[in-house]
Amino acid sequence: MRLLLTLIFIFSFTNSFAHEMTPAYPKFSNSYINNVSTTKMKLFNKREDISYYKVEVLTNDWKPIAFASTNKIIKLGYNKTILFDVYVQTKDIKHVVYICTVSKNFKQEKKVTLVASRICSKID
């Protein structure tokens, strides 16, 4: 009955868009560069209205930490998935708590309100 209700709720809305990122609890491992650690993340864009996502690496207080990635702003089409690596200096690893992706809207967007979505994984 609960499952049926869930399905009814889900399918009663047709025009919805999602943003997903995995894993929820990533782990850093040594990269091929000395003193740099890396982890691999997967981003899925099911938001038709969004084409760009920004990657963030943050402390427990939501302060940014320097990192490197193939692209800090990822261009990702609708219904597409991308794997991306995040590189952080090993000395900073103990401060890293969240890796987030945030949807980016165009400033000149004509819609009256916009919904930005942000998904944060927590370092295990």
Residues that bind another protein (CB under 8 A): 2, 5-6, 9-10, 13, 15-25, 42, 44, 47, 49, 98, 100, 102, 105, 107-122
The answer to whether the Cα torsion of 71, 34, 27, 91 is positive or negative is negative
Closest distance between another protein and the C-beta of residue 35, in Å? 26
For residue 92, what are the contacts with CB-CB under 8 A and spacing of at least 6? 65, 66
92, burial (CB in 10 Å: exposed 0-12, middle 13-18, buried 19+):
middle
> For residues 36 and 100, which CB has a smaller minimum distance to another protein in the complex?
100
Closest distance between another protein and the C-beta of residue 56, in Å? 11
> For residues 36 and 67, which CB has a smaller minimum distance to another protein in the complex?
67
